[in-house]
Amino acid sequence: MDRRTIFGGQLLPALLVLPQLVLTLFFFYWPAAEAVWSSMTTTDPFGQGSVFVGLENFAELFSDPLYLQAILRTVGFCLAVSVLAMAVALLLAVFADREIRGRAIYRTLLIWPYAVAPALSAVLFLFLLNPQVGLIGRWLNRHGIPWDYHLDGGQALLMVVLASAWKQVSYNFIFYLAGLQSIPRAVVEAARMDGARGWRRFRTITLPLLAPTTFFLLVVNLVYAAFDTFGTIYAITKGGPGQATETLVIKVYRDGMINQDIGGSSAQSVVLMLGVIVVTAVQFRFMGRRTSA
């Protein structure tokens, strides 16, 4: 879809595109190349320099049960966060789409959490679920349900899932509401004439028409859960207790920045990059050009 009318000149456009190209080169391609390179090297035993080892780091990575567990955990975490955040958002959007008094106010009050930082949603959940300070955490302990996410891995995982999903509902809500509003009234009316009501109308008419939105949101939510939740998880649990909340990104950070295993961490980065590229390709294959912020 190129323009017919264009301006002449070669130097000006080159200058215009230069800042972005330079930044992209320095902060995307160079680090990516650096990651690929260090993923194939290892520090020599005397710590003097790096030795080329080919795909050894990758072989090591995929034979490490901790890494394989982290992959499974991340997949489970991402699915749980996405399904939860999307289901709640869809429910709220369906009701907010109805003709009721005060709907503009409801919408505003459901949209603002978009602005909450992932790390900050962790802090907010602390005051709900912390065993000593949190409103719900204290209540659980008082009523004979032992609750302490510092000790119990399952509870820690539940907490980071809830905090991560909570923050993402608004984003999904905005898109589902826009999706619902773009369903032609005629379609809804026709369904009503045919006697489809309530749940049946929702299942047979609304849900299929929202399928493109749902697919788009699924991709965005999975990517959000995989990457943007670093702040949420790191602020509450730092990946613990043990490895209970260690997603792939937390593991890259722990292995690379804290344990200084550059080769292993870089290999993990490369695997993640390939993962993102596959997801992006799938998205574009099925969706055409859609972008998220």
| Shortest spacing between CB 164 and other proteins, in angstroms | 13
At which residue do the structure tokens 């999307």 appear?
Answer: 86
Residue type, 181: Q
| Shortest spacing between CB 69 and other proteins, in angstroms | 20
| Shortest spacing between CB 253 and other proteins, in angstroms | 6
Select 34 or 194, whichever has its Cβ closest to other proteins. 34
| Residue 71 CB neighbour total at 10 angstroms | 16
Backbone angles phi, psi at 116, to 5 degrees: -75, 130
| Shortest spacing between CB 76 and other proteins, in angstroms | 19
| Shortest spacing between CB 54 and other proteins, in angstroms | 18
Nearest to 269 by CA among 282, 283, 256: 256
| Shortest spacing between CB 293 and other proteins, in angstroms | 4
Select 79 or 123, whichever has its Cβ closest to other proteins. 123
Tokens, residue 172: 């999904």
| Shortest spacing between CB 271 and other proteins, in angstroms | 9
E strand or H helix that includes residue 27 = none
Select 44 or 189, whichever has its Cβ closest to other proteins. 189
Select 157 or 262, whichever has its Cβ closest to other proteins. 262
Select 160 or 272, whichever has its Cβ closest to other proteins. 272
Select 233 or 244, whichever has its Cβ closest to other proteins. 233
Select 170 or 206, whichever has its Cβ closest to other proteins. 170
Taking the C-alpha atoms of residue 189 and residue 224, their distance in angstroms, rounded to an integer, is: 36
Taking the C-alpha atoms of residue 152 and residue 274, their distance in angstroms, rounded to an integer, is: 33
Indicate the burial class of 57 (C-beta count within 10 angstroms; 0-12, 13-18, 19 or more).
Answer: buried
At which residue do the structure tokens 């991340």 appear?
Answer: 74
| Shortest spacing between CB 174 and other proteins, in angstroms | 6
* Helix ranges restricted to H, 194-254: 198-201, 207-209, 211-223, 230-236, 248-253
HEC letters along 149-200? CCCCHHHHHHHHHHHHHHHHHHHHHHHHHHHHHCCCHHHHHHHHHCCCCHHH
Q: Looking only at Cα atoms, what is the longest distance across the chain?
A: 79
Select 32 or 207, whichever has its Cβ closest to other proteins. 32
